Chain A
């Protein structure tokens, strides 16, 4: 198999501790593994709730934070050991779209500034004319027109326009991978579809892979190829998106999917009724073993001893981290 585009091996990120253990230790990511193939372009979804570690992952991939152990390799090269030339290439090929369409613009400048920064720092055009053409092209891809939006200040544009411009900016560099950190959660429902559609278009026509991070499983269902479900820093389940969401195996994922409100008034929340959750308690316990132990209807003694590894279920790359599926392997 060809070298993967992005490979994360055993990444662990621990916050806190510090000098003389001043602050509480939080394990944001634990032994995380992920692979994004070079070809064909795919949309890999990282789904999880708040506190599951998905933002930490995004920041680590983009180089904003350092992981405590493990490695993140882009095209085979560990990003922490890259020389400046390789770093330059990395920046050029890995871009991002963020959640808040307003905060990413410097309120002091017109929105054109975000494009100018890219063009200037990556030396993409020799003169104003060429630069303007590049920007026009990128804007057309997302359905905007330069003369309408470029000279405005961020607060004069709508949220949808701003987010689309972000996509245009990311596209400007023709990257290989775009990390999209909750790109549609702050956007109106009506524009959500447009942005997701854009992502699909970029994948199919421009062969750009995406790392799509979200907490909303319904959008993940619509556009993801692969999905990784995070629970408190470790992978609970992964595999083909459709398969995982239609037939979840891990108890947490099952609970999650059953809790999604179905837009059909005749079907009211299914699955086991959820007992009054003591959310705080969950984070404190289980420094070893499965984090979901307290809430899991199927927990066993074994679950407390050690974190279950990923076991294959259903074939096709579908795996779940639960001892329930270990017996299957043992029994078969």
Chain B
């Protein structure tokens, strides 16, 4: 705080007027605005996303597997490495095709590809052994690799499809080499990678030792082991998570308003009953109950999940609203309304409710946050909808595919980042609304 003496240039008009300006409305609370923009951008993603990105890519087996995002740290090195291997493979392929007339060696000593390992998670779908063993197939529990195709686009020997628990995949082709194949190789209609596969004794694009393919801007967020494009997953899944939260919180607040107003206004035994019930529901461990219920209800859609969550989402708002109504009941303007002959309904919804809006809004956003958290928790345990790649289910799949161990950070990291944005945004909105509702919480600017 500066103090200027009377002679040091301060006139009667003194201090520059209006350091505050008209933008000082309480609704333009910075926390609220920042939070709102965060949440809104995620919601918009769901609306605008499909317009410029193909959401079909969120389906299984639509994209190459295991591509890291092109902007990630090791992308350039990885691209380089793959290019090198490509060159090596090209060289080998040229040698191979020169010797194509001869029966290809049964052994795969020319290949540098690692031999097949049996793997619980299906191994690397791109690692297939020498083409000479048509029946060699990785048994894969997740259905193998959509591109584990052989050289022949002409549908070759499907008899050698990999046996798979989930029914394999439509594009699983064996690594059968055939004269026809080499011819097509020679004719150039084949992709070079196919020839490389042949020479390397495996089918599919070139990968590095960890099985990561070459990053490309066709898939800006990378892809995962099921062949889903991560950007499409986020575009499809993030708004779904928001929707779950909104529906659950919306239901919760509606019930909360009805019960809270009734309890607060009527008092007496009605109040006691409602209060006891809502207090009891608050203490029930909701996640445990939801897990049991979800396990029973096999087919869980987004809406069903929201309804389930709403079962527990109403108790908090009920208590909050009841408390506010109890305070407001004694306010001067409520008494004035009674004196003016207003009916109970009028008093509740025309006098009290408008003043409750900021509190209601704050409670609502808090509830949305809680509902999304619960929903994501359930999904991460595998209890969510299986046909739609929501964020929680994506995390679930990534855990199942040991993505952490394999270093596929973009599989679980990007959904988590989106969730962090949603939660932080909702939190800021709640805090901002709290400040709007209760002016005393607005901190004084530094003196």
Contacts and interface: CB of A to CB of B under 8 A. Distances in A.
Chains A and B come from one and the same complex: yes
Contact of A108 (B339, B341, B354): B354
A121 B341 contact: yes
A64 B354 contact: no
Interface stretch (A46-54, A95-103, A217-225, A233-241): A95-103
Contacts of A64: 335, 338
B332 A100 contact: yes
Given A106-B351, A108-B354, A108-B355, A118 B340 contact: yes
A306 B333 CA distance: 42
A98 B340 contact: no
B341 A106 contact: no
Contacts of A103: 331-333
Contact of A88 (B335, B339, B341): B341
Contacts of A109: 354
Contacts, number: 48
Interface in A187-242: none
A104 B341 contact: no
Interface residues of B, number: 14
A122 B331 contact: no
B337 interface: yes
Contacts of B418: none
Contact of A62 (B333, B339, B355): B339
Contacts of B331: 103
Interface string B35-79: 000000000000000000000000000000000000000000000
A32 interface: no
Contact of B339 (A95, A100, A105): A95
| Main secondary structure on B side of the interface with A | helix
Chain A, interface size: which category?
20 to 34
A166 B333 CA distance: 11
A134 interface: no
Contacts of B354: 106, 108-109
Interface string A58-73: 0000101000000000
A298 interface: no
Interface string B320-338: 0000000000011101111
A190 to B, nearest CB: 23
Contacts of A91: 339, 341
A121 B337 CA distance: 10
Contacts of B336: 98, 104-105, 114, 117
B332 A117 contact: no
Contacts of A92: 341
The 4 closest A-B pairs by CB, nearest first: A103-B332, A121-B341, A104-B332, A108-B354
Given A95-B339, A105-B333, A121-B340, 6 more contacts: A92-B341, A98-B335, A106-B351, A108-B355, A114-B336, A118-B340
Interface of B: 331-333, 335-342, 351, 354-355
10 contacts: A91-B339, A91-B341, A95-B339, A96-B339, A102-B332, A104-B333, A105-B333, A106-B337, A117-B342, A118-B341
